């Protein structure tokens, strides 16, 4: 009789908890899902870190390529006694007035044969350094920048137009006089867009601030060649930023 009662009591306990086994299975399943989701998130973050590391490496490589180009051009021209300067945190190749001097209120290149020969040598050095070992793939745009002194131009175009025409003048001279094998206008960046562009800054970016005499004003009538490197797009930066926010 006791055995019978014990058996009935056991059956009663199971009947009172009919969902106990199912609840345990659900909890186990949820734990497995949580573990898998955590592993997937960790893997995704690791992949993101790899992508970020590669992007940083590409930017560092581009910066190094730019430095190599600028210093290589300067060195090769120095051997020919042609003076150029590397400035603005190694982003600009400056042609000083001692090498290329524009007359006041003029944008055409000087007629002096030595000056024009030096300008052609600078263009050739540009081409060779840029195209060496596929370096142009790391560049976005190369700006030929014209500048003026602070005196108002008597031309209708003003100093803004005068500075821009100085940049265009040297650009046209390069493409009309340089060898067909070293024509700059055919060069493109990694997106297939023209690598070179022209711009004018009027007197807004002087290298000589005082301009007490024409010698000092002449320093500001110059050409700068600014190199910009390929950068991540704003969309890529936002995607990476969102992923790191999610990680936190």
pTM of the model: 0.75
What CATH superfamily is the domain 64-234?
OmpA-like domain (3.30.1330.60)
Render pLDDT for 103-130 as a digit per residue (tens, 0 to 9): 999 999 999 999 999 999 999 999 999 9
Parallel, antiparallel, or unpaired: how do β-strands 92-95 and 85-87 relate? antiparallel
Cβ–Cβ under 8 Å, residues 62 and 230: yes
As given in the structure block, the two tokens for residue 91 are: 């982003």
CB count in 10 Å sphere of residue 160: 16
Cβ–Cβ under 8 Å, residues 133 and 72: no
What does the domain layout of the chain look like in residue ranges? 64-234
Residues of the chain with pLDDT under 50: 1-11, 13
Predicted local distance difference test score (pLDDT) of residue 115 = 95
Predicted local distance difference test score (pLDDT) of residue 236 = 56
Q: For the chain, report the end-to-end CA distance as a whole number of angstroms.
A: 65
Render pLDDT for 40-70 as a digit per residue (tens, 0 to 9): 767 766 666 656 666 677 778 899 999 999 9
Cα angle 216, 220, 226 (rounded to 5 degrees) comes to 145
Cα angle 35, 39, 45 (rounded to 5 degrees) comes to 145
Secondary structure in 3-state letters for the chain = CHHHHHHHHHHHHHHHCCCHHHHHHHHHHHHHHHHHHHHHHHHHHHHHHHHHHHHHHHHHHHHHHHHHHHHHHHHHHHCCCCCCEEECCCCEEEECCCCCCCCCCCCCCCCCHHHHHHHHHHHHHHHHHHHHHHHHHHEEEEEEEECCCCCCCCCCCHHHHHHHHHHHHHHHHHHHHCCHHHCHHHCECCCCCECEEEEECCCCCCCCCCCCCHHHHHHHCCEEEEEEECCCCHHHHHHHHHHHHHHC
Predicted local distance difference test score (pLDDT) of residue 58 = 77
Q: How many CA atoms lie within 13 A of 12 on its CB side?
A: 6
């Amino acid at each position: 009789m006791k055995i019978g009662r014990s058996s009935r009591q056991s059956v009663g306990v199971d009947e009172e908890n009919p969902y106990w086994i199912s609840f345990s299975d659900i909890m186990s399943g949820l734990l497995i899902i949580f573990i898998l989701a955590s592993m997937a998130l960790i893997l995704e973050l690791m992949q993101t870190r790899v992508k970020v590391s590669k992007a940083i490496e590409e930017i560092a490589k581009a910066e190094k390529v730019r430095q190599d180009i600028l210093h290589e051009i300067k060195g090769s021209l120095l051997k020919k006694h042609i003076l150029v300067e590397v400035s603005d945190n190694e982003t600009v190749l400056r042609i000083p007035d001692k090498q290329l001097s524009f007359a006041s209120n003029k944008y055409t290149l000087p007629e002096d044969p030595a000056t024009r020969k030096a300008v052609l040598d600078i263009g050739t050095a540009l081409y060779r350094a840029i195209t060496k070992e596929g370096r142009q793939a790391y560049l976005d745009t190369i700006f030929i920048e014209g500048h003026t002194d602070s005196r108002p131009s008597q031309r209708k175009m003003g100093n803004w137009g005068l500075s821009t025409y100085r940049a265009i003048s040297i650009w046209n001279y390069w493409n009309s006089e340089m060898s067909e094998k070293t024509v700059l206008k055919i060069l493109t960046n990694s997106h297939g867009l023209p690598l070179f562009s022209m711009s004018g800054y009027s007197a807004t970016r002087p290298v000589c601030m005082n301009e007490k005499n024409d010698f000092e004003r002449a320093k500001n009538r110059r050409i700068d060649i600014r190199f910009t490197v390929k950068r991540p797009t704003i969309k890529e930066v936002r995607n990476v930023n969102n992923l790191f926010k999610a990680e936190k």
